[in-house]
Amino acid sequence: MEYLTPLSFLIISFIYSSVGLGGGSSYTAIMAITGVSYHIIPSVSLTLNLLVTFFGMVNFWRFGYVRYSLVIPFIITSVPLAYFAGSIKLNESIFEFILLLSLIAIATRIYILNDLVLSIQLTKIQKWSLIIFIGSSLGFVAGAIGIGGGIYLIPLIIMLGLGTEKEAAAAGSIFVWSNSLAGLAPRYQFLRFEYDVLLPSILSVLIGGSLGSYFGATKYDPQTIQKVMGIVIILAILFLMRKIF
């Protein structure tokens, strides 16, 4: 049983990194299912996100998919909120409620809105208003519960026609890495990790993330690759609903 979590994290990091994600939503879901303390979950998820998306940033940059003009506005609006949320000590009920809403939104995105494309023209003001809203919301969620936000940002970029799938994946890697770092920074001031638990997980995501991001940047077509991991999200939703209600 002690090897099951690192093995699952290896698989998650491989799959998620291939589409520019860190896997924080599934790390968080698995830890919630297995009863890990809510005090630890965000910090572990953000740490693993940070490691996995580093490889994504490097590989997508190497193959020319990074568009700084696409991702920088989202980073500017999200990082301050990620840092702020990371410095807040939430009680367990609020943490679980925010996590539940986030996981429901992820499941809806994966299984219902995955192929949605919006053919609308936004004015400059509308575009920046949307960027500010999306960036600040995802930044807060990243810092508060450890979900990096790329799982929302990448499809939104594609839906709004702001970039290609590969460009969206590259932007997602940079976005998740930046917000994970911002959300993690204030937590290190008051948190001690259980390194016997964290170190095997780190080794797993280093292997999975490096391989997945390489194949994602060079070979994989990122169509519906997250649906398998959506099963973990649904299980976590059922677990949390049973615990909360």
DSSP letter for each residue of 121-149: PPPHHHHHHHHHHHHHHHHHHHHHHS--S
User: Quick one: pLDDT at residue 192?
Assistant: 58
What's the total number of domains in the chain? Answer: 1
Give the integer Cα–Cα distance in Å for 24 and 41.
Answer: 10
Q: What is the pTM of this model?
A: 0.84
Give the integer Cα–Cα distance in Å for 108 and 111.
Answer: 5
User: Quick one: pLDDT at residue 191?
Assistant: 60
Give the integer Cα–Cα distance in Å for 130 and 127.
Answer: 5
- Residues with Cβ within 8 Å of 68's Cβ and at least 6 positions away in sequence, in order, are none
User: Minimal CA–CA distance to 147: which of 24, 19, 40, 23?
Assistant: 24
Q: Residue ranges of the chain with pLDDT lower than 50? A: 1
Q: Which domain holds residue 85?
A: 4-244
The residue behind tokens 């572990």 is 44
Question: In Å, how far are 20, 85, 115, 201 from 17, measured between CA atoms?
Answer: 5, 25, 20, 15
